[in-house]
Structures are given as C-alpha cells and as structure tokens.
Amino acid sequence: MLLLLMLIPFGTDNNTGNKSWLHFPGFPVNIQPAEICKMTYIVIMASVMSSHQNRISHPVSVMHMVFHLGLLVGLNMVLSGDAGVSLIFVFIFIGMAFAGGVSLWWFALAIGGIAAMFPILWQFLGQYQRNRILILFDPKVDPQGINERYHSKINLQSLTGGGLTGQGLFNGNRTQSGALFAQHTDYIFSSMGEEIGFIGCVCIMLAELAIIARCVYVGVRCQDYMRRLVCYGAASALMFQLMINVGMCIGVMPVIGLTLPLISYGGSSVVTIFMMLGLVSGAYARPSSLSHERYVQPYRG
C-alpha cells in the first residue's frame, strides 16, 4: 500500500490540481493509487483491530490504529493533495472503530482535540479550500455566483431542472450543452436529476442504500471479528462517498471531488468497489472462521 502511495509524485493531475493518477505509456487508462489503497486499508485495519480484539479500547491499541490512519492520510495529503480521498480513510476508520467496540470516550476525546486544533488546521488550508467551506454558511463569499458558488449554482439548476420525471435520457439541456462541469464524475447526480428526474434519483439512491445495508447485514451476521470489520469498512466507504457526492450536488457539502459509487465514470473507483464487495461476498459465504475446522465445508445458509 505504501509503495502505491509513493508512486503518486510521478502521477498526473488530469486537470484537477491533484497528482492522483498514474499514467503508463501504452496503457489506455489512468490508475488512481489512493482508490486501490481504500480496500487495502480496510483489510489492514481489520487485521490490526483483530489482533487487539480483547483490548480494543486500550491506549496502546488505539494509538496503533491511529498510527496507521495518520501515516496513510498524511502521505496521501502530502504527496497528492487530494483531501477527498484522505477523508474517506478517516471515515472508514471512524466506522470500523465504532463497530469494532472502541470506547465512546475515545471518540469524545478526538472530537475535543479536533475542536481545539481547528484554528491551527484552518491555517493550513488553501484559500480556495476555505472558501469552499465558508460558502456553505455565507453566500456573501461569492455574491455574484461566478467563483466558488458557480458550480453549486449550475448543479442545483440541473438537478431541479428535470422535475419529477426528467427531460429524458441524453436530453438534458445543461448536461448535453456542456454547461454542467464534470457531469460524468463528481456531478453525475445533478446530471441524473436533469435527465431522469426526481423519481430516477430516488431509485438510484435506494439502490445504493440497499447495497450499503446489505454490507452491514453481512457484517452483523459474521461471527468472525475481522470479517465483520471488513464488511463495516466497506459500508462506511460507500456511505461516505454517497453522502458527499449527493451533498455536493445539492449544495450542503463542500466540493472535494468524490465519485458516486458504481455510477460515476472512473475505472479505479469502480474496480475498487467491486473488490470491496467481493470481500463482503466472501464474508457472507464464510461468516465464521475456518481455523478450527478439520476440513472446509461449503456454507449452506
């Protein structure tokens, strides 16, 4: 995983300002190492937490988990500058730690620490990053709607322009004219709202939530601690991406560039999600550990 992240400085930015993609000569697609690291991180965290299962809230155990998180997030931020993917790692960590039984006192301590350090962390943000956050609370940051509010304004106009049933697939005015930026990746939900309408968006949301709920169900069903955590980690990653992507399009979340799971264009993201769902499927097929079995038997449900 660390070797993948170390390749980031040699990557390209795809006109996004973040060196998050690797391009290999003669290879027709770009690869985003941080996306692949999501699945690896889930497995590593599940393994680390499993090794500390009987003392999961002990300070040494918590520091061990935080070290892995800090190392990964820090490297990704320094090498690529991609805050969006880094926040996914944080949310995965929170979801797995909560589901794994870490004491709520640690969460309260973390919230207090972040609140105390927020003024310092704020100084490390670029001006454009600050504006993306401030615009959610104060429209006066961009009163004309031509800078930070521009994309949010177009997103809302596209999302609401489809009405109940939409303007028709491949017939959206702003989508087809190119006025909607990143319509196949970050803002695909706005494009769907314009073309398939409110009903279509609700169906997509329900399908996404059904996948997440299934991951949680498999995790609850698992008797093995590590496999349970893998399922919760996958559910956390998918839920965070869904919340942020939809939130960006309706103007309640800052723009940090995350794809809509299994919908947005992006090979690295889609392949990684399929791999995570494959791990969940494996946990469903083998909900308990095989270490004490004399031979492998198929699970009959």
pLDDT greater than 80 at residue 6: no
Question: In this structure, what token pair is assigned to residue 281?
Answer: 């499927």
Residue 174 lies in a domain: yes
Rounded Cα gap, residues 218 and 290, in angstroms: 17
Q: What is the mean pLDDT of residues 19-46?
A: 75
pLDDT given for residue 132 in this prediction: 75
- pLDDT bin (cut points 50, 70, 90) of residue 299 is very low
Residue 296 lies in a domain: no
Question: In this structure, what token pair is assigned to residue 66?
Answer: 């935080």
pLDDT given for residue 13 in this prediction: 53
Residue 215 lies in a domain: yes
Rounded Cα gap, residues 247 and 267, in angstroms: 23
Residue 226 lies in a domain: yes
| Count of domains observed in the chain | 1
Residue 295 lies in a domain: no
Asked if 91 contacts 240 with a C-beta cutoff of 8 angstroms, the reply is yes
Residue 268 lies in a domain: yes
Residue 223 lies in a domain: yes
Asked if 262 contacts 270 with a C-beta cutoff of 8 angstroms, the reply is yes
Q: What is the mean pLDDT of residues 253-273?
A: 84
pLDDT given for residue 20 in this prediction: 59
pLDDT given for residue 26 in this prediction: 65
Please name the helix (run of DSSP H) or strand (run of DSSP E) that holds residue 161, with its range, or none: helix 148-161
Residue 7's SS3 state is: coil
* Mean pLDDT, the chain, whole residue set: 80
Q: Which domain holds residue 266?
A: 2-22+30-285
Residue 297 lies in a domain: no
pLDDT greater than 60 at residue 221: yes
Question: In this structure, what token pair is assigned to residue 138?
Answer: 């104060």
pTM: 0.83
Q: pLDDT tens digits, residue range 53-99?
A: 888 888 888 888 888 777 766 666 656 566 677 788 888 989 999 98
